[in-house]
Homo-oligomer: A and B are copies of this chain.
């Protein structure tokens, strides 16, 4: 079984120190929620986020949405051949259940994630769709116990999706859930091999689409 970790994802609720900022208060009001209940989102909260610690890896829930849609709309996930985790920049982990149909509409996705951050679990009558745990990357890797940990990052060894796809059985694949920057040391110390695809830096959702497609070919064809 392949595990996918979208690591250090820029997904969190508005942190306490920004909750009284005017741009955040007015955005929360529009949504009919308290500032503490809404996702930090650079596209609305840019002014408030200026100078925030580790700013480059924060406030991009849209990236996580696109990554999760890329990973869950495919046969690999429908056939339960992949486990999906979102590790966040402030060390929380979303464990995704089987056969979850995430909304393509962003505001609905945000609503679910905000509910998850509040309630720690989203479930139906007979299954758990998502769970949120306070968990470091260390602890997550310890829980998964993969055969090997393989990361995709622009600073890795040059390769291509097809070759990397063939190496993934029983591995844990790491893709960064942030816009820019490199993995922190806490992540890199667990990585066995890092590969780079192409010369440009790609959007995380494109990397996930392509690598999972190539892996899917190795197991379904």
Contact = CB atoms under 8 A, between A and B. Distances in A.
A134 B70 CA distance: 32
Contact of A203 (B30, B73, B106, B202): B73
A125 to B, nearest CB: 23
Interface in A185-221: 198, 200, 202-203, 205-206, 209-210, 213
A63 interface: yes
B74 A206 contact: yes
B106 A202 contact: no
Interface size class of A (residues with CB under 8 A): 20 to 34
A206 B78 CA distance: 13
A69 interface: yes
Given A70-B209, A74-B206, A213-B210, A104 B62 contact: yes
Interface of A: 30, 41, 43-44, 60, 62-63, 66, 69-70, 73-75, 78, 103-108, 161, 198, 200, 202-203, 205-206, 209-210, 213
Secondary structure call for the A interface = helix
Nearest to A104: B62
Contacts of A63: 104
Nearest to A66: B104
A73 B213 contact: no
Q: Which of A75, A200, A209 has the most CB of B within 10 A?
A: A209
B213 A209 contact: yes
Given A66-B69, A210-B209, A210-B213, A43 B103 contact: yes
B75 A198 contact: yes
A200 B75 contact: yes
